[in-house]
Structure 1
């Protein structure tokens, strides 16, 4: 199991457009082979930042997802809203346990 973390800085005023496209993208990702989980983090002191934490069975599954039409369709509005998109950072998951709030 692999987790990929990507930090993105959005252009001022583009948060809603990016968030809408991300919601569409993540909704479709749930049906992709190898998808396990995803979180969207917004730092309290930087509302124009987005940190995506996605967990996949393998990096190959994630890469295949990037070739799907839904991923490609959401790329344009997200890129238009992005000022700076960080490079994905990969982490091998050694332990994962569901916690209740």
Structure 2
């Protein structure tokens, strides 16, 4: 079953260009992964330093393989300096009630 992953972050002020480039880098890395379907970046209208990445994966296993990959963990480490708080992950099953 396909899953939608929401990655929620708030960044420090003054680093938009760096953050935007990093988000693109991670997206390009994800696009090469097995099971990746799509993703989009949502910037909060009220809080321009808050961003949600919504990505869709073929299965939860595909997402977890990418989530815990060395490449992605390195990218998460790179984000740390720019974060204002912690990164939150939410995973949702797509379609009919799965249980």
User: With structure 1 as the length reference, what TM-score do the two structures score?
Assistant: 0.82
The size of the alignment, in residue pairs, is: 95
User: For 2:16 and 2:64, how far apart are their aligned partners in 1?
Assistant: 25
Post-superposition Cα deviations, 1:30-89, rounded to whole Å, max 9, x if no partner, equal 110010111110022211011110110112111111233331332222111111234211
User: With structure 2 as the length reference, what TM-score do the two structures score?
Assistant: 0.84
Residue 69 of structure 2 corresponds to residue 77 of structure 1? no
Deviates more, 1:60-69 or 1:32-41: 60-69
Give the 4+ runs in structure 1 shifted more than 4 A.
none
Query: Gapped runs of 5+ residues in structure 2?
Result: none
